[in-house]
Amino acid sequence: MAEIVSLAEAVERAIHDGDAVAMEGFTHLIPFAAGHEVIRQRRRDLTLIRMTPDLIYDQLIGAGCARKLIFSWGGNPGVGSLHRFRDAVEHSWPVPLEIEEHSHAGMANRYVAGAAGLPFAVLRGYNGTDLFRLETLDSGHGPAPAIEAPTIKPITCPFTGETLTAVSAIRPDVAVIHAQRADRSGNVQLWGITGVQKEAVLASARSVVTVEEIVDELDPRPGAVVLPGWTVSFVARTPGGAHPSYALGYSARDNDYYVAWDGIARERVTFIQWLDELFSPRGDGPPGDPPAVLPGGTHPPGPPSGETYPPRPPLGGDEPPESWWGRVT
């Protein structure tokens, strides 16, 4: 049965260094607050899994939390590149990033296989593409040697003889999603564009669900996905936890944040300033967040009483400050 805890406790108990973590939400209900908490708790060597890495993984990758990324489309939707992702792949900054890439259909089916307890899924896909064998041309020098993709294989249909494609199951250690609501027993309800969240939770050994609100009773919603509390490990009430993505019925996409992120992430120094803000005691920092002093003179909450956030990392230039991940390459 799901335990209802604080976000900090959920991340602390569910996500460990070296885990394979799937934070899902297909442009809607992206669990940003949970991602930021993972950065604050300085997890490292994570294998990050997500169909659309988006800003949330750009932030985690830039902060040095990831060793590997498994994905199908890595861009800033409607804006451009993910600069921290590109810097990691092209220049190994702040740490080298291994990648494993698929198409959306392949990733979706890998989650389906994971949720179904099967070792692989079958689809019509990938035929004729280099995703199968990761071959590229070194212009002028002929084809580079092919590397076989370890998670994509041809398979023959035992009934028709047709050649199809098998993709291996994804079984993350932890799934992290954001939902609109949960009840006091930890039953989770999400609606609107529900993406691949159900499959991600059911494929994973553990799960963390942040929710906009916890209610006495979940009244039915058209098209809602309900995850019974016994399929979920931790529920954390986190209003606005999907910001800057949107939560249907609660908040709209903060498009200015997506646009502003392009400028922040483009240079290491501006990214480090953003990270410094994230670690600062008021614990927010992204553009569009409330100002330090809210109207009426109240300050946003700092860390829960009895807890302290990790010390602020030093501001730096191009060199990644060692304290975030304990090693500089």
Partner 1 sequence: MTVSAARALRDGMTCFVGIGLPSSAANLARATHAPSLVLIYESGTIGAKPGQLPLSIGDGMLAETADAVVSVPEIFNYWLQPGRIDVGFLGAAQIDKFGNINTTVIGGDYRSPKVRLPGAGGAPEIAASCREVIVVVRQSHRSFVERVDFVTSVGYGSGPGDRERLGLTGAGPKKIITDLGVLEPDPETLEFTMTGLYPGVSASAAKERTGWDLAIAPEPEIIAAPAPAELDALRRFQGTRARSHQ
* CA-based R_g, the chain, Å: 20
**244 near partner 1, rule: CB under 8 A:** no
Q: How many CA atoms lie less than 13 Å away from 195 in the CB half-sphere?
A: 24
Burial of 117 (0-12, 13-18, 19+ CB in 10 A): exposed
Q: Is residue 178 near partner 1 by the rule CB under 8 A?
A: no
- 6, 81, 151, 280: which one binds partner 1 (CB under 8 A): 81
Among 78, 288, 290, 304, binds partner 1 (CB under 8 A): 78
Question: Cβ contacts of residue 163 below 8 Å, gap of 6+?
Answer: 127, 154, 155, 156, 157
155 forms part of the interface with partner 1 (CB under 8 A): no
Q: Is the peptide bond prior to 77 cis by the omega test (within 30 degrees of 0)?
A: no
Sign of CA dihedral 10, 281, 215, 209: negative
User: What are φ and ψ of residue 76, in 5° steps?
Assistant: -95, 105
Q: Binding partner 1 by CB under 8 A: which of 44, 75, 221, 262?
A: 75
Binding partner 1 (rule: CB under 8 A), the pick from 64, 125, 172, 313 is 125
According to CB under 8 A, which one of 248, 276, 277, 289 is a site residue for partner 1?
248
Q: Does 291 bind partner 1 (CB under 8 A)?
A: no
With CB under 8 A as the contact rule, which of the stretches 126-134, 173-181, 202-210, 302-310 interacts with partner 1? 126-134
Tell me if the bond preceding 311 is cis, omega within 30° of 0: no
245 binds partner 1 (CB under 8 A): yes
Of 17, 69, 13, whose CA–CA distance to 43 is shortest? 17
Q: Interaction with partner 1 in 156-175: which residues (CB under 8 A)?
A: 162-163
Interface with partner 1, residue 84, by CB under 8 A: no
For partner 1, the closer CB: 223 or 301: 223
Q: Which of 7, 14, 19, 26 binds partner 1 (CB under 8 A)?
A: 26
Number of residues that bind partner 1 (CB under 8 A): 63
The least CB distance from residue 187 to partner 1, in Å, is 19
Give the binding range for partner 1 (CB under 8 A) out of 101-109, 212-220, 266-274, 293-301: 101-109
In sequence order, what DSSP letters do the residues of 212-278 get, joined into one string?
EEEES-----TT-EEE-GGG-SEEEE-TTTTTTSBBTTTB---HHHHHHHHHHHHSHHHHHHHHHHH
Instruction: Please give the structure tokens belonging to residue 207.
Output: 């799960």
Instruction: Please select the residue that binds partner 1; options are 3, 6, 42, 192, rule is CB under 8 A.
Output: 192
Question: Which residues of the chain form contacts with partner 1 (CB under 8 A)?
Answer: 26-28, 51-52, 71-75, 77-78, 81-82, 85-86, 89-90, 101-105, 108-109, 111-112, 123-131, 134-139, 144, 147, 162-163, 192-196, 198-199, 223, 225, 245-246, 248, 252-253, 255-256, 259
